[in-house]
Amino acid sequence: MVKTQNNKRVYLIGIGGIGMSSLARYYLSEGFMVSGSDIVSSPITEELEGLGVKIFCGPHKASHIPRGSGFIVHTAALRKDNLELKEGRKRKYVIRTYAEALGELTKNYFTIAVAGAHGKSTTTAMVAKVLIEGGLDPTVIIGTRLKDSSGADGKKDTNFRKGNSKYLIVEADEYAGSFLNYHPDIAVLTNIDEEHLDFYKTKARIVSAFKKFLTGSKPGAVFVLNNDNQDVLKLGLLLSKLKRFSGRFRWYSLRNSAVEDIKYRLQVPGIHNVSNALAAYCVGQTLKIPNEKILKALSEYGGVWRRFEYKGTLNGAKIFDDYAHHPTEIKATLEAARERYPKHRIWCVFQPHQQDRLSRLFERFVPAFDCANELVLLDPYEVPGREKPRSRRVNASSFRLAAAVDARLKNNVYYISYSSQIPEFLARYVGMHDIVIMMGAGDIWKLTGKLV
């Protein structure tokens, strides 16, 4: 348990975030008096309020922090001059970022941390499913919603699961070095890719961060690594030469003998999800869970929030919601959609996430949409705290991306600058046998609800 100045009071700044809210649920399950703040109200804040959490929505104010809180957790995106943060310092409260607070928890559990540029949420959820089926009853803190595991309040579709064992499963995000705060007993690494370059700047620094994540594990920790990713393979081979890491590696690959068994049973489409399932399979074997229980768990895995998630229909067209925002993820999702619906017309409505990512990876974005028949591009979502508003490079705009994709595919590519026009546009053009994937890590999910 996290040590605080006060016994059971905690205040979370940015409580409506998917990660922060899961931590709030954890503290609730441990008997804490939880309160917090966020700029806007959302379904997440409403759910927490339904659990008895006092939340202040709107501009942050020093007066929001209850007297005697003693312990404050805040989102990493918070400015240092934030009024509530300054008030917490003035009162000499213990202050932690989300990653620091979660890192403290990993020290006190047998922790399984899932890291990687892509597939973290899905793999974390699959690992949770395997441990639950294996009778290990884990606590789970994840940056998405577990669709088939009940939370502390007994409800499904939540980002937290309360267990009653020594096992903790966490999603280990690499942005801003967050995962360097975690100390796992089993460290899973799905892949390494050019991601979060606004923070890391170079691929070499990204690889270095993943190396620090692995070497920061607890003494005797086991590493579950993807043998199919060249950067992971190189890193694993480098560390395996060090005596202190000898015998601690468990490799998985699409060349494994278990692939056909897993692929046959898996409900979610795509070879990338077979790879994610292999990681979970390897974790299960490491914990000596019987193979039949591992395979049963994977066969019952139904997906997570915003990962090729079916939402309903529009004019007979099936509408899916997906979080993909990196070229590698876009390509994998569209290939999976084509695999499942080989004869359908596939629409991809994509909102780029962060202008900086679009600019740096522009050439990789262009071929990522090859499996789409129709592409609709929106303007980039501006991430608060990570780039200056309107700091767009003209040569890497969504309009230019639309032109580049159009020149490559000769298919229908549309650029629509006003997202409010999307529901009317799609209602006019989609119909039976169409597949529509609303894609992006920004606020495009809000449009999805208006379609169905």
Query: Is 448 marked as a binding-site residue?
Result: no
* Cα radius of gyration (the chain): 22
* Helix (H) or strand (E) run with residue 229 in it: none
Q: How far, in Å, CA of 170 to CA of 148, rounded? A: 17
How many Cβ atoms from other residues are within 10 Å of residue 273's Cβ? 25
Q: Number of C-alpha atoms within 13 angstroms, CB side, residue 51?
A: 26
Pairing of strands 222-226, 249-252: parallel
How many Cβ atoms from other residues are within 10 Å of residue 251's Cβ? 16
Q: How far, in Å, CA of 232 to CA of 210, rounded? A: 9
Phi, psi of 21 (to 5 degrees): -70, -30
Query: Is 220 marked as a binding-site residue?
Result: no
Q: b/e for 206-240, b at 16 or more Cβ within 10 A?
A: bbebbeebbebbeeebbbbbbbbbebbbebbeebe
Looking up tokens 């007979």 gives 316
Query: Is 119 marked as a binding-site residue?
Result: yes
Q: Distance of CA 231 to CAs 193, 271, 293, 344, Å?
A: 8, 19, 31, 35
Query: Is 122 marked as a binding-site residue?
Result: yes
The residues pairing with 146 across neighbouring beta strands, listed in sequence order, are 158, 304
Pairing of strands 309-314, 317-322: antiparallel
Q: Distance of CA 252 to CAs 225, 231, 281, 283, 407, Å?
A: 6, 14, 9, 10, 39
| Nearest CA among 121, 91, 111 for reference residue 221 | 111
Q: Distance of CA 140 to CAs 146, 155, 221, Å?
A: 9, 14, 19
Joined tokens for residue 71: 């312990």
Query: Is 117 marked as a binding-site residue?
Result: yes
Pinpoint the alpha helices (H) of 30-136.
43-50, 83-90, 98-106, 120-133
Q: Distance of CA 91 to CAs 12, 68, 70, 142, 278, Å?
A: 15, 9, 8, 31, 48
Q: With contact defined as beta carbons under 8 Å apart, do 152 and 28 qualify?
A: yes
**Binding residue ranges:** 116-122
**Binding residue ranges for ATP:** 116-122
